[in-house]
Amino acid sequence: MNPALLASVLSLLATVAAQPYDHYDMGWVNGYRQGFNFQCPHGELLVAIRSYFSEKEGSDRLWSFECQAVPDNLGEPSDCWWDDINRAGLEWTSTCTRNGLVAGVQSKYFESTLDREWQFYCCYYKRRCPYSCMKTTDVPEYYREEGEMVIPAYGYFIRGAQTTFSGVLRDRQWKYILCRLTDFDCEFENL
């Protein structure tokens, strides 16, 4: 191999390797150990969630969210509300009550548990009912990794989440509950 070419390639690789991964430029809604309140604009729902873990910053995560307008056939939300608080340091499952869908999230950090409490901002559309619900795989796949979840197909919405918390690793994994909505009004509430 040409020694000049090899030196050039090695120099380029050394430059690239020396570049720090700048996770601070990702549109995070919070700083480490800070609470946050994120709500999608009216008529939009959460479709993507991203987080970045730091052990030295209190075993906390930075969070980023993306929203998307709902399909026209759903119309405007009939009602929106903050659902139940899910406590720090515990495993929990939470779905929006009254057939609601997640349109926002708020969270508060607790030094005593090195964890957060969570609350979903939910909206419901007329009397539409969720169906074809499923859970995602663990996000992140392993504790302390960067996490990312994007709705896998148009027409699915986040209805809630199931989480596990590791008291040893001081981190949380999520399985998001995704559902479709009926095209017709229904008279009952799915739990």
Express each pLDDT in 163-175 by its tens digit: 999 999 999 999 9
* Residue-level pLDDT at 29: 97
Q: How confident is the model at residue 187 (pLDDT cuts 50, 70, 90)?
A: confident
Q: Is 185's pLDDT higher than 80?
A: no
- Average pLDDT value over all residues in the chain: 87
Mean pLDDT for 153-159 is: 93
Asked if 53 and 145 touch (Cβ cutoff 8 Å), the reply is yes
pLDDT digits over 56-88, tens only? 999 999 999 999 999 888 888 999 999 999 999
Could you report how far apart the first and last alpha carbons of the chain are, in Å? 65
pLDDT digits over 98-108, tens only? 999 999 999 99
Of residues 128 and 157, more confidence is placed in 157
Q: How confident is the model at residue 183 (pLDDT cuts 50, 70, 90)?
A: confident
Residue 176: which of 187, 166, 189, 163 has the closest Cα? 163
Tell me if residue 173 falls in helix, strand or coil: strand
Tell me if residue 72 falls in helix, strand or coil: helix
Alpha carbon 145 to its chain's center: 14
Segments making up each domain of the chain, as ranges: 34-179
Q: Tell me the backbone φ, ψ of residue 19, rounded to 5 degrees.
A: -70, 120
* Residue-level pLDDT at 23: 61
Mean pLDDT for 114-140 is: 93
* Residue-level pLDDT at 89: 95
Q: Residue 4, exposed/middle/buried by CB under 10 A (0-12, 13-18, 19+)?
A: exposed
pLDDT digits over 17-29, tens only? 333 445 656 799 9
* Residue-level pLDDT at 24: 59
* Residue-level pLDDT at 184: 79
Of residues 6 and 152, more confidence is placed in 152
Residue 58: which of 171, 173, 174 has the closest Cα? 171
HEC readout, 18-57: HCCCCHHHCCCCCCCCCCEEEECCCCEEEEEEEEEEECCC
Q: Tell me the backbone φ, ψ of residue 87, rounded to 5 degrees.
A: -70, 150
